[in-house]
């Protein structure tokens, strides 16, 4: 899975003011529903919340990969949001999270879902990319950091 195929400016937000786990998942669901006619906000939020009930998607280092499955989807939809300040998200390292890379996937794409998560996690394991995203002042800068092939 290619990150460039997943991310887009209309599904990216930078320095969002937010103070709770539920609120950031609502914001992500709003963005997904506004940019993809196949997604209903409530369905997206329920899918993300259901996954979080199984265990936090906060992978550490201030990063979370919220994800959920939707029967209505025909292809993967990604939403990238950074927050100011970082928020409590029950991450595995107990540190607050300020980078959210959420994906919503078609219900029947189990293998593709795992590959997509692995690709995103690999990209966000690169300290230089994470630093650039944290310092970004615009969604264009966030996208550029994620898609910069030279940073690999």
pLDDT, tens digit, for every residue of 46-94? Answer: 999 999 999 999 999 999 999 999 999 999 999 999 999 999 999 999 9
Mean pLDDT of the chain: 92
- Residue 87's nearest CA partner among 27, 13, 20 is 20
Residue 152 has a pLDDT of 39
3-class secondary structure per residue, 17-54: CCCCHHHHHHHHHHHHHHHCCCCCHHHHHHHHHHHHHH
CB 29 within 8 A of CB 45: yes
Question: Taking 50 as the threshold, does the pLDDT of residue 104 lie above it?
Answer: yes
Decide if pLDDT at 113 tops 60.
Answer: yes
Residue 2 confidence (pLDDT): 80
The answer to whether residue 149 scores a pLDDT higher than 70 is no
Q: Catalytic site residues? A: 67
CA-CA distance, 81 to 133, in Å (whole number)?
A: 10
Residues 124, 132 contacting (CB under 8 angstroms): no
Can you list the alpha helix ranges (DSSP code H) found in 7-150? 21-35, 41-54, 110-123, 127-135, 139-147
Q: Which domains does the chain have, with CATH numbers?
A: 3-151 (3.40.930.10)
Average pLDDT over residues 91-112: 91
Q: What is the CA radius of gyration of the chain?
A: 14
Tokens 């998942």 identify what position?
Answer: 25
pLDDT at 150: 44
- Mean pLDDT in residue range 128-137: 95
- Which helix (DSSP H) or strand (DSSP E) does residue 4 occupy? helix 3-6
Q: Give first-to-last CA distance, the chain, whole Å.
A: 15
pLDDT of residue 116: 84
CA distance 4 to 108: 23
């Amino acid at each position: 899975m290619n990150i460039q195929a997943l991310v887009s400016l209309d599904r990216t937000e930078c320095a969002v003011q937010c103070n709770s786990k539920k609120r950031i998942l609502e914001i992500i669901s709003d963005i997904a529903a506004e940019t993809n006619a196949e997604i209903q906000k409530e369905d997206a939020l329920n899918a993300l919340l259901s996954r979080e009930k199984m265990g936090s998607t906060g992978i550490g280092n201030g990063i979370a990969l919220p994800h959920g499955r939707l029967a209505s989807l025909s292809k993967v939809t990604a939403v990238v949001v950074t927050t100011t300040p970082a928020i409590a998200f029950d991450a595995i390292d107990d540190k607050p999270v300020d980078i959210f890379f959420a994906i919503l996937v078609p219900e029947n794409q189990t293998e593709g879902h795992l590959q997509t998560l692995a690709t995103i996690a690999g990209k966000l394991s690169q300290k230089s990319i994470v630093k650039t995203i944290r310092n970004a002042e615009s969604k264009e800068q966030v996208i550029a950091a994620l898609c910069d092939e030279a940073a690999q």
